[in-house]
Amino acid sequence: MSESKSKPGWKSIPIAGLLLEPGSSLKYKTGDWRAYRPVIDVEKCINCLLCWIYCPDAAIVRMEKHVAVNYDYCKGCGICKSECPVNAIEMVEEKR
């Protein structure tokens, strides 16, 4: 028989979603989860920043005259589209 190795106990396993070091969330590129991606129509965007405020993943990037999307972190939830008062955001099916 092989020697059994000690497995970690429940007290040594971090709680789900817990980030154990500052700035470590930048390491977790969660954009691969997406089924749909937001596409910004920069001609329609009035830079009101409602999408930036409501984005739960901080994936909306403030630009000088419009916003952009950091697709490394965008999960495609569509909240930005729902909050846009001028319909400048379209959700497009992700191509793999």
Give the model's pLDDT for residue 10.
Answer: 64
Q: Is the per-residue pLDDT at 3 higher than 60?
A: no
Tens digit of pLDDT for each residue in 60-71?
Answer: 999 999 999 999
End-to-end CA distance of the chain: 46
**What does pTM read for this prediction?**
0.72
Provide the pLDDT confidence category of residue 33 given band limits of 50, 70 and 90: confident
Segments of the chain assigned E as strands: 36-40, 60-62, 67-69, 89-93
Provide the pLDDT confidence category of residue 8 given band limits of 50, 70 and 90: low
Its sign, for the CA torsion 19, 21, 23, 27, is: negative
- Which domains occur in the chain, in start order? 31-93 (3.30.70.20)
* Centroid of chain to Cα 50: 16
